[in-house]
């Protein structure tokens, strides 16, 4: 219960946010890393806070892009036996011992999700978000799958196996957007969320929310690792 309380307190008033998921094993010289930086920067410029799992690879890249744009880089770290540490581009850090609490926080405060190539953890996060949207536990927010070469085979399997056998419907695939373009990813998210946040001053209000959260974070000492 304490982790829920800490998470809610730290992230309250965060404003519009996008959670970026993806592999921790992507190096800084990898093309996917540079692309994730660009996605984070474009979304940050559009007024979104960027939430990640706080680790290396795609998570670090998304937060780095947000920081370059002047948006809030949020890292929700999980304490693991091999001691994953939050990377230095995170300004708002929350540490968790329990995966299920962390997953709730990664999903609860996001208005969209960008899923880069990753392993089993990324797959878990993808299908968790997809299921929660499908059953109406969270709003019908977009899930952007970044990388057609990586995700195309999965979508083909969903159609040929799950949908063809009646285990899922074609409408469920309407929750997913496949792209290879950072600009298109941003535009898809803006188009899908505008009804929730339209009106004059949206970006200004989003940045005000960001500043409040950053102010609270700066008032607290960074956790020692």
pLDDT tens digits for range 63-81: 999 999 988 899 998 876 6
Q: How many CB atoms lie within 10 A of CB 212?
A: 15
Beta strands in 42-160 (DSSP E): 49-52, 73-78, 92-96, 112-115, 143-146
Residue 198, domain member (yes or no): yes
Residue 221, domain member (yes or no): no
Full domain range(s) for residue 64: 2-209
52: domain CATH number? Answer: 3.40.50.450
Structure tokens at 215: 């102010």
Residue 215, domain member (yes or no): no
Integer CA distances (angstroms), 204 to 15, 61, 217, in order? 11, 24, 20
> Which residue has better confidence, 209 or 10?
10
Residue 140, domain member (yes or no): yes
pLDDT band of 204, cuts 50, 70, 90: low
Residue 205 has a pLDDT of: 57
Cα separation, 197 vs 165, in Å, equals 38
Backbone angles phi, psi at 51, to 5 degrees: -105, 135
Residue 78, domain member (yes or no): yes
For 145-197, write each residue's pLDDT tens digit.
Answer: 999 999 999 999 999 999 999 998 888 888 899 999 999 999 999 988 876 65
Count structural domains, the chain: 1
Residue 109 has a pLDDT of: 85
Residue 164 has a pLDDT of: 95
pLDDT band of 213, cuts 50, 70, 90: low
Mean pLDDT computed over every residue of the chain: 84
pLDDT band of 207, cuts 50, 70, 90: low
Residue 224, domain member (yes or no): no
Closest Cα partner for 92 from 67, 126, 65?
67
Are the C-beta atoms of 142 and 188 separated by less than 8 Å? yes
Is 217 a residue whose pLDDT tops 70? no
Helices (H) and strands (E) in the chain, counts: 9, 7
Residue 96 has a pLDDT of: 82
Per-residue pLDDT, averaged over 95-115, amounts to: 86
Is 30 a residue whose pLDDT tops 50? yes
Residue 200 has a pLDDT of: 44
Integer CA distances (angstroms), 54 to 38, 88, 94, 202, in order? 17, 9, 9, 27
Are the C-beta atoms of 222 and 94 separated by less than 8 Å? no
* pTM beyond cutoff 0.75: yes
Per-residue pLDDT, averaged over 69-95, amounts to: 78
With the CA atoms of 87, 13, 65 and 151 taken in that order, what torsion angle do they form, in degrees rounded to the nearest 10? Answer: 90
Cα separation, 177 vs 129, in Å, equals 14
Residue 222, domain member (yes or no): no
């Amino acid at each position: 219960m304490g982790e829920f309380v800490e998470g809610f307190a730290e992230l309250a008033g965060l404003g519009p946010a996008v959670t970026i998921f993806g592999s921790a094993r992507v190096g800084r010289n990898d093309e996917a890393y540079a692309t994730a930086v660009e996605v984070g920067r474009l979304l940050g410029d559009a007024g979104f806070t960027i939430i990640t799992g706080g680790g290396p690879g795609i998570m670090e890249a998304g937060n780095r892009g947000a920081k370059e744009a002047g948006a809030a880089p949020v890292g929700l770290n999980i304490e693991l036996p091999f001691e994953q540490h939050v990377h230095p581009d995170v300004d708002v850090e929350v540490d968790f011992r329990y995966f299920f609490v962390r997953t709730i926080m990664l999903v609860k405060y996001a208005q969209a999700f960008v899923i880069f190539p990753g392993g089993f953890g990324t797959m878990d996060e993808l299908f968790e978000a997809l299921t929660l949207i499908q059953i109406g536990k969270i709003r019908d927010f977009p899930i952007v799958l970044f990388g057609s070469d990586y995700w195309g085979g999965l979508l083909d399997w969903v159609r040929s196996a799950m949908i063809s056998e009646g285990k899922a419907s074609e409408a469920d695939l309407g929750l997913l957007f496949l792209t290879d373009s950072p600009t298109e990813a941003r535009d898809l998210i803006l188009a899908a969320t505008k009804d929730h946040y339209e009106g004059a001053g949206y970006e200004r209000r989003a940045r005000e929310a960001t500043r409040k959260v950053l102010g609270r974070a700066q008032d607290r000492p960074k956790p020692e690792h």
